[in-house]
Amino acid sequence: MSLCIAVVGAGVAGLSCAKALTQAGASVTVFEAHDTPGGRATTRKTELGTFDYGAQYFTARAAEFRRELEHWQAAGIVLPWKARVVQLADGVRPVPKAQDPVRYVGVPGMSALAAHLAKGLDVRLDQRIRRIEQVGHGTQTRWTLKRQADPLDPEGIEITEGLFTTVVIALPAPEAIGFLEAAPQLLAQVRRVQMDPCWSLMLAFSEPLSLGYDAAFVDSKRLAWIARDSSKPERRSGERWVAHAPGAWSREHFSDDPDDVRAKLARAFGLATGASIGPVHAVVHRWHHSAPMKPLAVGALWDERAAIGVCGDWCSGARLEGAWSSGRALAERILSGATA
């Protein structure tokens, strides 16, 4: 049977799955709700320079992912980030982190990874899929996708997309649930996964803070991580920082007014770093689902009967490497079913 596959979500997992399937000869269409691919591995452009306000960097452990990293390096879209990283706690001197892994970043921003993965794929942007609908039964089962005509209007009219043999759901676990009615065994597993939200703060300063480090794991109620974005390779010069609140604090303050969150996190940044000047730019972003509390460690989920697969960082060890590996694992399972 020739495979005609719809991938919902153009994050790293969806794109890595789509790429492997396309390379194997399948016809693949990727639907992405936003106007750029990348999902949580993204970069915001401002007049002061860019901010990686989701994934900060990535590490490469598994041999297969290290091979992919070599391709990315050869393509010039990834460089090591030689950051001076410390451990920070309120009122305590910064302690340098020992035995750090090599950290890699996309250049000129983390969004370069998705842009690279998306090359040569049929990626449809601004297409928010609302639900999938089964057409026919048994071996004749096909799927259509129902998308919002306006990606920002959940109540608006619906447009039908395609007739697909297979559907890949490449979304954070809580968002995947609504697509899995026809695959109850997958649904039961996906429901087990909880994901933390994360408030992210982007700061720019008119002068260098000269803190003596580029990033810190922070042990405080309101901050878990800060990084000098402008210390990453091939970024515009300047003093730009990104700060992330811990999952517990982000959950507790999930519905707070963004202005209050911004003020609280900017104060926490000042306290943790002892910065002597205030920012000239401070913006927050709320990630609904940033990281799985406990990833499933299954690689990917596949229901051959329904021809529905699910992938994402939460299936495979979390983080960017996990997302990429999960996409690959799902592609392998779909292809092995097709050739069996």
Ligand X SMILES: Cc1cc2nc3c(=O)[nH]c(=O)nc-3n(C[C@H](O)[C@H](O)[C@H](O)COP(=O)(O)OP(=O)(O)OC[C@H]3O[C@@H](n4cnc5c(N)ncnc54)[C@H](O)[C@@H]3O)c2cc1C
Residue 244 binding ligand X, by CB under 6 A: yes
Q: Which residues of 100-126 are buried (b: 16+ CB within 10 A; e: fewer)?
A: eeebbbbbbbbbbbbbbbbeebebeee
CB 67 within 8 Å of CB 327: no
Which CB, 1 or 159, lies closer to ligand X?
A: 159
Closest to ligand X by CB, 101 vs 136, is: 101
Dihedral (Cα; 88, 48, 119, 166), 10-degree rounding: 60
Region of 56-64, 135-143, 213-221, 257-265 interacting with ligand X (CB under 6 A): 56-64
Interaction between residue 241 and ligand X (CB under 6 A)? no
The answer to whether residues 119 and 31 touch, using CB atoms and an 8 Å cutoff, is no
Q: Please, what is the minimum distance in Å from the beta carbon of residue 145 to ligand X? A: 9
196 is a contact residue toward ligand X (CB under 6 A): no
CA-wise closest residue to 226 among 43, 106, 87: 87
56 lies in the binding site for ligand X (CB under 6 A): yes
Q: Select 34 or 281, whichever has its Cβ closest to ligand X.
A: 34
Q: Give the footprint of ligand X on residues 12-31 (CB under 6 A).
A: 12-14, 31
> In this chain, which of 5, 7, 29, 39 binds ligand X, going by CB under 6 A?
39
Q: Which stretch binds ligand X (CB under 6 A): 53-61, 66-74, 118-126, 159-167?
A: 53-61
CA atoms of 178 and 146, how far apart (whole Å): 13
- 70 versus 207: smaller Cβ distance to ligand X: 70
Alpha-carbon distance 131 to 271, whole Å? 46
Name the segment binding ligand X (CB under 6 A); options: 7-15, 214-222, 251-259, 329-337.
7-15
Least distance (Å) between residue 47 CB and ligand X: 23
CA pair distance 141, 163, nearest whole angstrom: 10
**Residue 192 exposed, middle or buried by CB count within 10 Å (0-12, 13-18, 19+):** exposed
> DSSP secondary-structure letter at 58?
B
170 interacts with ligand X by CB under 6 A: yes
Give CA angle at 250 (247, 255), nearest 5°.
Answer: 150
Given the rule CB under 6 A, which of 54-62, 91-99, 254-262, 269-277 is the region that contacts ligand X? 54-62
Phi, psi of 269, rounded to the nearest 5 degrees: -65, -45
Does residue 171 belong to the site contacting ligand X (CB under 6 A)? Answer: yes
Give the separation between CA 115 and CA 119, rounded to whole angstroms: 7
| 54 interacts with ligand X by CB under 6 A | yes
8 near ligand X (CB under 6 A): yes
The residue ranges that bind ligand X (CB under 6 A) are 8-14, 31-34, 39-41, 54-58, 128-129, 170-172, 175, 198, 200, 244, 287, 290-291, 312-313, 318-320, 323
